[in-house]
Each structure stands twice: as C-alpha cells, then as structure tokens.
Structure 1
Amino acid sequence: MTEPWPTPAASPAAPDAASPAAPPTPPTSAGPFDPPGVTWQPVSPKLVTVRLISLALSLGLPLVASVVVAALVGVPGLWAVPAAVAAFAAWLAILVPRQVRALGYAERDDDLLIRKGIMFRTLVVVPYGRMQFVDVQAGPLDRWGGIAKVQLHTASPASDAAIPGLPPTEADRLRDRLAERGEARLAGL
C-alpha cells in the first residue's frame, strides 16, 4: 500500500527530538486539466452510439448523393468526392469514442468541474453560487439511446457548461443537487 504523502528519505543520523518535522508536501497535479484530489465521473458509453448514429444520418446523404452523381456523370475524377466523404466519416467514427471517453465531471464542495476534449482540452469550473438555473435536455435520438444532457446556465453567455450523455436518473439527481447547492450558495451571499 502506498502512502498518500511522500516521505523524506531517512538520513543516517537520528533526528533530534527538538527539531521540527518538515511538513508533508501536498500531491501535485498532472497539469491544469487534472486538479489534485478530484475523482472524475465518466458519461454513459451510450453517448458513443447516439453520436455515431447522428454522424451516419448527417454524412449518409452526402455520401449517397456523391456516389449517384459520380456514377451518372461517368467522370472518373468525381469518385474522389465520395471517397473523401467516406474517409471523413471513418475518421470521425474513430474520433467519437475517444471524445466521449474524454468527457467527465466532478462535484466539489464549492464548484462543479467539467472536462472535455482530446487535442483541444477544456476544463470548465462553475461555482455553485454563479449558477442561475439548471435544466435537463434530451432530443429524440437521446431519448432512444437512454441518455440526457444537463445544461448549466450562468450569467455569462459564453459559458459552455453542459454534461451530455448522462443516464436520465443521474441527470435528474445532478440537476436537483446542483440547484440545491446553487440556492444554498446564493443564500449565503
């Protein structure tokens, strides 16, 4: 079992009882996107399926249309268009599961943390006292997949505080808990 705090190496001489012990050093974070002592909650893996179906619906029509046009016109160079659409769809199909695995949230005593992104990472910190209201959203495809999105609204219009891909029971629990904590923080101001 490892100790939570690193211990200094033992010195050959015995420490003097009168000398004060050095305070333990707190654990350091792995960077600005991984604060120390935070346990991240992942989103539902069902979000991958919902996003892949949405991707197929949005790129399926351009793929079929470009194949039909390339076949009817008969110009060999036009087959590059459906090949490019198919390559883009394949790249996104590989990227979507990684993006979903990168999503997470953590509830702390004073704020909510939301992280996302692989190449362009984002960490959003929303203080409970700054939340104006919290709502739960689910479109038809989300409801079919059994997931919902919790959207946090603050005074800042640029705030992108949303947690997609939560099971409906977790979305309800999180909405109620965040609203309760937000009211408690506002009452304390």
Structure 2
Amino acid sequence: MKPADDALAPPDLDWRSVSEQLYTMRRALLLGVCALLAILGGGLLGWLVAWWAGLVPVLVAIGVGAWGVPAIGRNQRSWRYAERADDLLIEHGVLFRRLVVVPYGRMQFVDVAAGPLERRFGIATVTLHTASASSDAVVRGLPPTEAGRLRDRLAALGEARSAGL
C-alpha cells in the first residue's frame, strides 16, 4: 500500500494480508449471479416481451460483472491485520478506510468458521467476539492453518490478559 493509504495504521508493523482465494471465491459468486441474471432474466424477458427486451438483463449483467470484478480485487487487497503485544489491528476499506483495534484482554472468544463455499476455496473466517456486539472484529479469507494459528494465539493471549470479565 502507498504511504498515504496508511494514515490510520501505526508504522513499523508486520502486516499480513488475506488469501487471494477470497478474491477468487467472491469473483466466482459475482460471475455466477451475473450469468444467472443474464440467462434467466434475458430468457424470460425475451420470451414474454420481445427478443430485444431480453438483451437488457444481459447488458446489465455484463456491466455489473465488468465493474464488480476489479472492485472485488481492490477490496480483497485492502484487508490486512497485524498482531501487537497487547492488541490485534484489522484494517480494510478502499474508499473509506477502517482500522479496528481489539485489545486481547477484551476478547471473550474467538470463532473460526468456514461455510461450504469457503471450504471449497480453502479459506476461513476468524471472528473476535467482545462484550460489545458492535466491537466484534472479523478477518475473512485466511487459509485454514493460519486461521487456526491465529485463533489459538488470540485465545491464549486473551486468557493471559483477561480484564477480569
């Protein structure tokens, strides 16, 4: 990332990015939905209204796909996290940058989840739960081994630094 993009982040941290498989999964989902829209919407409108009306959903699907694929790539590259001595930092966002700092002592539990599609693409999601539901943090698109390592490390650090909750 460019230095101007790092205005929120503290300097000199070992930032880790998420897996490229997150981009691959989201791109496949987007293109699948666009293809479904083009085929079903185009076929239905072409059959019920006129052949030229069936082109509208096809053109919309092509436009959404052409805009969405690069946007998904930029979003995937914006996700990163860093572990510090007392807290975990998660940064993401393209247009609006967001930096979430979760102190280890405030974590109640760490959840690792992988749905069927995530498992197919070899990624998992780590969710850090705190006492406040609004301060929960999520790291999407980690390889399962890294997700397990992060879960174990965060659980151990959270237990060691618990704030008496």
| Normalised-by-shorter TM-score class | 0.7 to 0.9
Deviations 1:82-139 (A, max 9, x none): 3123201221111111111111000001110001110121111101111010011001
Aligned ranges for residues 106-117 of structure 1 at < 5 Å?
Answer: 106-117=82-93
Cα distance change of structure 1 residues 145 and 157 upon mapping to structure 2, 3 Å threshold: same
Deviation at 1:70, TM superposition (A): 3.3
Secondary structure of the residue aligned to 2:135 is coil
Aligned ranges for residues 30-179 of structure 1 at < 5 Å?
Answer: 32-72=7-47, 73-74=49-50, 76-77=52-53, 79-179=55-155
- Number of aligned positions between the proteins: 162
Deviation at 1:176, TM superposition (A): 0.3
Secondary structure of the residue aligned to 1:76 is coil
Deviation at 1:74, TM superposition (A): 1.1
Instruction: Structure 1: state its 5+ residue gaps.
Output: 1-28
Which is greater in Rg? 1
Question: What's the TM-score, normalizing by structure 1?
Answer: 0.77
Deviation at 1:179, TM superposition (A): 0.4
Equivalent AA in structure 1 for residue 29 of structure 2: S
- Larger relative CO (CA 8 A, sep 6+): 1 or 2? 2
